Chain A
Amino acid sequence: MSWFEAFAAKFHQCFVQDGRFANFMLSGLKVTLQITFSAAIISISLGSFLAIVRVTHDKNIAAMYPGSKRIALKAFNQLCKLCITVVRGIPMVVQLMIWFFVVFAASRNALGIAILAFGINSAVYTAEIVRAGIMSVDHGQTEAGRSLGLGYVHTMRFIILPQAFKNVLPALCNEFIVLLKDTAVVGYIALCDLTRGAYLIAGRTYEPFLPLVAAALIYLAMVIVLSKLFGKLERRLRTSDSH
């Protein structure tokens, strides 16, 4: 049997026989994408929220008059800081296991739990990225907005955040690549993602290399597409304005 025939036989066994590629890897890919995209949405919204609370506190607390608003903002800021510290301090796999076996011990919705766990984990990193982005926008922009009579929320939303997001797009792209690749540990809570799909084929055939290489190539392709999308977005934002 020639080298090529041997390879073809292995390829057939790993990916064609019993519909393995579709059953394990494609269905796994679907799970990977579902978790990544849903978690990314949680990450960006929750992350921005955390960042805005932190920045609002840091920028305004000194100028605020004493009162219940000031106390609430201080408490809220401490809470956000605590969340960021705790989540950032625990390995992703451990967090995942805690959500699955402790917090939602009675739930059977592993996919939902994974989305929540990855979303929250990614959100604290996004929060710091967005916070850095907001801080990088010149304070004069805030002053110009406020001097026109725009409120804090308006100024944030229409002037500061668009500039902040443009500045942090490369970092955000990085964060989402990490998120995508981090989902490879969902096998720990019995979800069959792309990585587990590859392992399932490997365990059934005792041919570990082809499935792993296939999984690697698919991850690589996804990361390349993601980077390209972000690159495109970055260019589009840059052509409209730059300074």
Chain B
Amino acid sequence: MIRIEGLHKSFGKLEVLKGITEHIHPSEKVVVIGASGSGKSTLLRCLNLLEMPTSGRIFIHGEEITGGRHDVNMLRRKMGMVFQLFNLFPNYDALGNVTLAPIKLLNMPKSAAEDLGMHMLEKVGLTDKAHEFPSRLSGGQKQRVAIARALAMNPEIMLFDEPTSALDPEMVGEVLAVMAGLAAEGMTMVIVSHEMAFAREVADRVFFMDDGVVLEQGKPDEVFSHPREARTQEFLARVRK
């Protein structure tokens, strides 16, 4: 479904991705772990071209999205993205956040979009907060609205960029539960996360990134219980402390 070939990304002189070649299959859940600065967020952001790869190619359904000829906006409709800091639109209420893209992009009538929006909010358990503005929501609620917002465009792939890192510990669970539900429905998901327990439970594959490359990958059990690389062992030891 997603094919990555020789992906490089530099910011000025700093090379963040140093050649990544991977293939992610339909309905697969990939959790990307690694120390900060290892390039995991950049990898994720390259997938929907929020960052332009310096070199290398990315294919979705066999169609190349790099190279400048592909319609970026059409690509992004098919890929939902959830950010670490939620990035809800403060000038719209929860429902407005969810319905904005369907109304503007799919020319959906307002009432139909609101039906859809309510359905999405129901999925994340927030129908009662539909008319609250983001400033009145807790972190966990904000992140769930953000997930509903991404789902409203009916994406084929969901990208999660450290979705629980900015949350108070007691709110992490509600967000992970929503994500687990999504995984159970068969959504293709790429998740950058530090939640090892969640990764173990949900992931089909775990990527361990280090210094701009995927140093080690495999089923969660293999990577977490029997890491082959010294760097992986070191990292896992550090996060488990």
Interface residues of A (CB under 8 A from B): 63, 65, 138, 140-141, 143-151, 154, 158-159, 162-163, 166, 240-243
Contacts and interface: CB of A to CB of B under 8 A. Distances in A.
Contacts of B146: 144
Interface in B77-104: 77, 79-81, 83, 85, 87-92, 100-101, 104
B144 interface: no
A154 B77 CA distance: 14
Nearest to A242: B135
A241 B50 contact: no
Contact of B85 (A140, A150, A242): A140
B133 interface: yes
A138 B86 CA distance: 12
B83 A140 contact: yes
Given A63-B52, A240-B91, A149 B134 contact: no
Contacts of B85: 140
B74 interface: yes
Contacts of A241: 90-92, 133-135
Contacts of A145: 89
Contact of A163 (B75, B91, B133): B91
Contacts of A149: 73-77, 101, 105, 153
A200 B57 CA distance: 75
A54 B207 CA distance: 41
A158 B101 CA distance: 10
B159 to A, nearest CB: 8
B133 A154 contact: no
Contacts of A159: 89, 91, 100
A163 B90 contact: yes
A106 B75 CA distance: 56
A174 B142 CA distance: 35
A148 B83 contact: no
Nearest to B48: A147
Interface string B90-129: 1110000000110011000000000000000000000000
Contacts of A141: 87, 89
Contacts of B91: 159, 162-163, 166, 240-241
Given A144-B87, A144-B89, A148-B77, A240 B101 contact: no
Contacts, number: 80
Nearest to A67: B68
Contacts of B77: 148-149
Given A149-B105, A150-B73, A151-B73, A144 B134 contact: no
A146 B50 contact: yes
B149 interface: yes
Interface string B44-78: 00001010100000000000000010000111110
A154 B103 CA distance: 11
Given A63-B52, A140-B83, A140-B85, A146 B90 contact: no
A140 B100 CA distance: 16
Contacts of A63: 52
B76 A147 contact: yes
A141 B52 CA distance: 18
A140 B87 contact: yes
A159 B100 CA distance: 10
A92 B83 CA distance: 47
B150 interface: yes
A241 B133 CA distance: 6
Nearest to A139: B87
B100 A158 contact: yes
A46 B89 CA distance: 26
Contacts of B89: 141, 144-145, 159, 163
A150 B105 CA distance: 7
B87 A154 contact: no
Given A154-B104, A158-B100, A241-B90, A144 B83 contact: yes
A141 B133 CA distance: 15
Please list the 5 inter-chain residue pairs (A to B) with the smallest Cβ-Cβ separation, ordered nearest first. A149-B77, A144-B87, A147-B81, A140-B87, A148-B101
A147 B79 CA distance: 8
A162 B96 CA distance: 14
Contacts of A148: 76-77, 80, 100-101, 105, 149-150, 153
